[in-house]
Copies of this chain bind each other. A is one copy, B any other.
Amino acid sequence: MSRPTDVVAVDLGGTTIKAARFDAQGVAEETLRLATPSSEGPEAVVAAVVRAAADLVSPSTAAVGLCAPGLIDAAAGVVRFAANLGLRETPLAAAVADRVRLPVTLEHDVRAACLAEQRLGLGGDVRDLLVVVLGTGVAAGIVCNGQLVGGAQGFAGEFGHIPVHAGGEPCTCGQHGCVEAYASGGALVRRYRRTGGIANNAADVAARRDTDPEAARLWAEGADALGRALVTTTVLLDPQRIVLAGGMAAAGDALAEPVRHTLQNGLAWRSAPAVDISPLGADAGLLGAALRAAEAAGARVFLRSTC
């Protein structure tokens, strides 16, 4: 039997399942992407995750790390509830372990991304860190005193539902004026289409900022809402560093600059923490899941910094 030297990670997303086998240096040896079969029911989703993991496991794989959105019970390896995936009380880690016969971990996707940022990205040695993942929705990974914050029920980090405008835009959560109703990719596209604009995704809106005043206005309102929610988070938690991650972060300084401006304006009495774009890109969740798997493999596999 060969010595375990790699881990497999699977990031179960609302639209895509991403998986990779990482060697001990954190380099992806093999990757796999497939559409999440959400419309075929929860059994199909679980089967797709099991297949993705099994396809990548090699004779030298030490452990498998999974991550998923929703309400995650990491200790039990169970997805308690994930609306977009139709999962409820789903023992996802056990389903994969039954097939691959290896230790299998499960982590919340945003907390996995935060873990990756802390260990492999910009968060190195930072004991108080905020990682905001801006995608279809908006959520945050919070590190206080060097530890990921899960909250009493595992609901911590619902940054997207910080109210920033009393009685403002309706949000998918049922409230009004949440930061997610302005700053998420989904909101940006919805609001742009409402002005008569044509966009498939947030990148389309971002690309039209210089030529379409409506695109410029909506982008600015999104960045402003994000900055306001960061003011709130900063007064509460005093993070040393704020990292912007997820698909929207691909906009780089076009996002970070106006966010920094709103944040510093809202903190008259203190300096603002640094705001940076994640260097890990959309793979942060996958890397975090791999880190959890490496932990489960004990001292046999380490993932090294990729930055």
Shortest beta-carbon distance from A86 to chain B in Å: 17
A145 to B128, CA, bound (A): 14
Is the pair A175, B273 in contact by a Cβ cutoff of 8 Å?
no
Is the pair B268, A157 in contact by a Cβ cutoff of 8 Å?
no
The verdict on A173 contacting chain B, using a C-beta distance below 8 Å, is yes
Is the pair A152, B128 in contact by a Cβ cutoff of 8 Å?
yes
Q: Contacts A165-B166, A166-B165, A266-B163; is A235 near B147 (CB within 8 Å)?
A: no
Q: Contacts A159-B235, A268-B175; is A240 near B147 (CB within 8 Å)?
A: no
Contact with B along A142-160 (1 / 0, CB 8 A): 1011010111111111110
A108 contacts across to B, CB distance below 8 A: none
A116 contacts across to B, CB distance below 8 A: none
Shortest beta-carbon distance from A239 to chain B in Å: 6
A237 to B142, CA, bound (A): 9
Is the pair A152, B127 in contact by a Cβ cutoff of 8 Å?
yes
What number of copies of this chain does the assembly contain? 2
A297 to B127, CA, bound (A): 28
A240 to B126, CA, bound (A): 26
Shortest beta-carbon distance from A268 to chain B in Å: 4
The verdict on A292 contacting chain B, using a C-beta distance below 8 Å, is no
**Nearest residue, chain B, Cβ from A148:** B145
Most interface-central of A149, A159, A236 (chain B CB within 10 A): A236
A156 contacts across to B, CB distance below 8 A: 128, 144, 236-238
The verdict on A164 contacting chain B, using a C-beta distance below 8 Å, is yes
Is the pair A128, B151 in contact by a Cβ cutoff of 8 Å?
yes
Q: Contacts A237-B149, A240-B152; is A269 near B174 (CB within 8 Å)?
A: yes
Is the pair B145, A238 in contact by a Cβ cutoff of 8 Å?
no
The verdict on A233 contacting chain B, using a C-beta distance below 8 Å, is yes
Q: How many residues of A contact B (CB 8 A)?
A: 44
The verdict on A161 contacting chain B, using a C-beta distance below 8 Å, is yes
A233 contacts across to B, CB distance below 8 A: 236
- CB contacts under 8 Å to B, within A148-204, are 149-159, 161-166, 173-175
- CB contacts under 8 Å to B, within A219-247, are 228, 231-233, 235-241
Shortest beta-carbon distance from A118 to chain B in Å: 14
Q: Contacts A152-B273, A266-B163, A269-B174; is A236 near B142 (CB within 8 Å)?
A: yes
The verdict on A3 contacting chain B, using a C-beta distance below 8 Å, is no
A127 to B145, CA, bound (A): 14
A165 to B163, CA, bound (A): 10
A268 contacts across to B, CB distance below 8 A: 173-175
Is the pair A154, B232 in contact by a Cβ cutoff of 8 Å?
no
A151 to B266, CA, bound (A): 18
A266 contacts across to B, CB distance below 8 A: 163, 175
What are 12 A-B contacts with C-beta separation under 8 Å? A128-B151, A144-B149, A144-B156, A152-B238, A152-B240, A152-B273, A154-B238, A155-B238, A159-B235, A163-B266, A175-B268, A233-B236
